[in-house]
Structure 1
């Protein structure tokens, strides 16, 4: 009947979300604890411990560092996502990507180098320890 409050997987992130509307151009760096919904253009670096959503008309040129990202728009630069990067069918990514998990829908354009930062598990087989990487 009552639902337990599940712990926040990212306690540093604020529940607040900022919106950059279509037609808006921001030149410079942005730092925040909350999430972003970007429908306009940012030329600069964005750093947040929250989630970033880039809609179809959204564009970032620079570096983006965040916890999760969901792309429908365009990105050019270095993208560092601690957990999950989701690329929708309209997404266009160019540059360098470092992510924990990657989800790509058919139709997305992904012209980037990619490094996955999945968990490393130690397995024991016949008395020998082996490392297995999982994403």
Structure 2
């Protein structure tokens, strides 16, 4: 009659986005990655990552470089700065670098070393996001 929810992990907005690319465990990529889609990384990256939709760093991932995306979920290790709208640091996640984010969540055991800057979302007028600098000029 009653079902018990055995899943302890909350779903994120990234759970609803199709992953376009997977970099599997044992892979090493040296160089920058950029694009529109979402990626899951279980290997190692030496370079910057700039993806529009989202980034999932698996438990065995190790990134050495800056990360920029809309949504980032960190289960692994990131050595570099991160800029995103939503950040989820899971219990096995480690970030060693500065963070700039609108909202974030850290599970018990998740770690970050660096400075944290909370930003507010850009106001939307008639479906167009305006920057704070544009508002000051107007």
**Structural mapping, 1:29-108, within 5 Å:** 29-81=32-84, 83-108=85-110
Render the CA deviation track for 1:48-105: whole Å, top value 9, x for unaligned: 1011000100111101110100010000111011x21000000011011101101000
Q: Which runs of 4+ in 1 moved over 6 A?
A: none
Q: Which has the higher strand share?
A: 1
Larger radius of gyration: 1
Which of these residues, 94, 108, 111, is aligned with residue 109 of structure 1?
111
Q: CA RMSD in A?
A: 1.9
Q: Separation in 2 of the partners of 1:114 and 1:105?
A: 16
Contact in 1 for aligned 2:54/2:69 (Cα 8 Å): yes
Contact in 1 for aligned 2:66/2:82 (Cα 8 Å): yes
Unpaired runs of 5+ residues, structure 2, are: 1-16, 124-138
Q: How many residues align?
A: 108
Q: Which has the higher helix share?
A: 2
Unpaired runs of 5+ residues, structure 1, are: 1-13, 122-135
Deviation at 1:32, TM superposition (A): 1.1
Q: Separation in 2 of the partners of 1:86 and 1:16?
A: 17
Q: Separation in 1 of the partners of 2:49 and 2:32?
A: 6
